[in-house]
């Protein structure tokens, strides 16, 4: 099957902020017929990239979450027990699981947190990847369409561990490590996901809105560098921080931050919004006795009081 990878790449780029290199690498690997492991923390564009590629390629994206409950029967599919009692086993009373669905439709099977799936499920998956076909007792054999791929993801901060997967799993997958984007790209994402129309109007003049987005990105990024935090917040936190702070500023009828009083009120609104947008998205080191809110307050003070002149 011929795929015009360059044409797909150009269309995919229009849907994703930055990530040119990652897009090229994922596209090259899937065009080469390979399966991939994407290794990166939550919120680093993994789903965005896969959605854009499959949409432009015109194939399905089938999601499945890797966890202890993902048995081989859940991944492949199962016979309807009630119908089996009435009719005995047959292909007709078999319900396809995500693996069979992706194979039959030629889609990408996207398994998030692959390292959390049980070993027998991983073995089933490896067999399907190697043979590009699967035989289910009393349901028949399905041959995968040419565009079927397995894309797995893994969070390097996951305490179930990146070493849990056996070397035989790693040996069958290409791997791409994905890290956080730079501040400019994250501001671009926030502008896209928290657009002017989503913020209250009137109430937020353009300069204040610009400052809000820049501060939200800088403060969110600071959670990733703080010594007390094991895993900081992704850009999802910056998006929510912008949206919540925008609503708070409108509630308080904040028009600008030009007077010292207005600047202080703006900064307090940002802290309040941080507690709701970021406190559940940061994971403290086990040895830290402070609360997430206290650590966020320290980040906030560092940003607004100790280093006020430093841009985000």
Residues forming contacts to Mg ion in the complex (CB under 5 A) are 47
Stretch that binds ligand ADP, among 121-129, 185-193, 200-208, 279-287 (CB under 6 A): 185-193
- The footprint of ligand ADP on this chain (CB under 6 A) covers a number of residues equal to 16
Tell me if 53 sits within 8 A of 30, measured CB to CB. yes
Q: Residue 232: which of Mg ion, ligand ADP, none does it interact with, CB under 5 to 8 A by kind?
A: none
Interacting partner of 282 out of Mg ion, ligand ADP, none (Cβ under 5 to 8 A depending on kind): none
Distance in Å, CB of 21 to ligand ADP, minimum? 12
Contact in structure between 64 and 81 (CB atoms under 8 Å): no
* Rounded least distance, CB 176 to ligand ADP, Å: 12
Based on CB atoms, which residue is closest to ligand ADP, 18 or 106?
A: 18
Check residue 281 for interaction with ligand ADP (CB under 6 A).
no
By CB under 6 A, is residue 16 in contact with ligand ADP?
yes
Could you tell me which residues come within 8 angstroms of residue 29 by beta carbon, excluding any fewer than 6 positions away?
36, 174, 176
CB nearer to ligand ADP: give 21 or 86.
21
Distance CA 246, CA 263 (A): 15
Torsion of CA 98, 103, 104, 106, to 10 degrees: 110
Q: How far is CA 250 from CA 207, 265, 269, 274, in A?
A: 14, 12, 10, 16
- The CA-CA-CA angle for residues 299, 48, 183, to 5°, reads 30
230 binds, among Mg ion, ligand ADP, none (CB under 5 to 8 A by kind): none
Dist. CA 243–CA 192, nearest whole Å: 12
Q: Is 184 exposed, middle or buried (0-12, 13-18, 19+ CB in 10 A)?
A: exposed
Is residue 18 close enough to count as binding ligand ADP by CB under 6 A?
A: yes
* Residues of span 215-254 touching ligand ADP by CB under 6 A: 235-236
The binder of 255, among Mg ion, ligand ADP, none, by C-beta within 5 to 8 A per type, is none
Of 100 and 194, CB closest to ligand ADP? 194
In 66-173, the DSSP E strands lie at: 77-79, 94-96, 108-112, 133-136, 140-143, 149-154
Is residue 104 involved in binding ligand ADP (CB under 6 A)?
no
Number of DSSP helices (H) and strands (E) in the chain, helices first = 13, 11
Q: Which residues ranging from 74 to 93 are in contact with ligand ADP (CB under 6 A)?
A: none
Residues 191-210 that bind ligand ADP (CB under 6 A): 192-193
Minimal distance, residue 139 CB to ligand ADP, in Å? 32
Q: Do residues 107 and 60 touch, judged by C-beta distance below 8 A?
A: yes
Residue placing its CB nearer to ligand ADP in the complex, 46 or 79: 46
Cα separation, 34 vs 99, whole angstroms: 16
Given 44, 54, 115, 267, the residue binding ligand ADP (CB under 6 A)? 44
CA dihedral (216, 221, 226, 231) in degrees, to 10, reads 110
189 binds, among ligand ADP, Mg ion, none (CB under 5 to 8 A by kind): ligand ADP
The answer to whether the beta carbons of residues 237 and 275 sit under 8 Å apart is no
- CB nearer to ligand ADP: pick between 19 and 149: 19
For binding to ligand ADP (CB under 6 A), which residues are involved? Answer: 16-19, 42-48, 189, 192-193, 235-236
């Amino acid at each position: 099957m011929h795929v015009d990878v360059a044409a797909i790449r150009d269309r995919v780029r229009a849907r994703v902020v930055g990530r040119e290199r990652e897009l090229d690498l994922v596209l090259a690997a899937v065009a080469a017929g390979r399966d991939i492991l994407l290794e990166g923390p939550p919120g680093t564009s993994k789903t965005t990239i896969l959605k854009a590629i499959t949409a432009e390629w015109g194939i399905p994206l089938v999601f499945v979450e890797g966890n202890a409950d993902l048995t081989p029967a859940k991944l492949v599919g199962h016979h309807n027990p009630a119908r089996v009692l009435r009719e005995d086993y047959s292909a007709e009373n078999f319900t396809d699981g995500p693996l069979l669905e992706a194979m039959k439709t030629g889609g990408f099977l996207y398994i998030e947190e692959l390292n959390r799936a049980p070993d027998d499920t991983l073995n089933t998956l490896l067999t399907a990847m190697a043979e590009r076909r699967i035989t289910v007792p009393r349901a028949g054999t399905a041959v995968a369409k040419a565009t079927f791929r397995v894309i797995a993801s893994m969070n390097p901060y996951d305490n179930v561990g990146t070493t849990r997967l056996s070397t035989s799993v790693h040996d069958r997958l290409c791997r791409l490590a994905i890290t956080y984007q730079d501040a400019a790209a994250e501001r671009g994402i926030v502008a896209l996901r928290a657009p002017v129309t989503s913020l209250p109007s009137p109430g937020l003049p353009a300069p204040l809105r610009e400052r809000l987005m820049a501060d939200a990105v800088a403060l969110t990024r600071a959670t990733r560098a703080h010594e007390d935090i094991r895993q900081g917040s992704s850009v999802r936190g910056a998006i929510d921080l912008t949206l919540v702070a925008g609503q708070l500023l409108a509630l308080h009828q904040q028009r600008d931050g030009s007077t010292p009083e207005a600047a202080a009120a703006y900064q307090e609104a940002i802290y309040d919004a941080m507690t709701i947008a970021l406190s559940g998205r940061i994971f403290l080191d086990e040895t830290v006795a402070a609360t997430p809110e206290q650590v966020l307050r320290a980040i906030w003070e560092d940003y607004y009081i100790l280093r006020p002149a430093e841009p985000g």
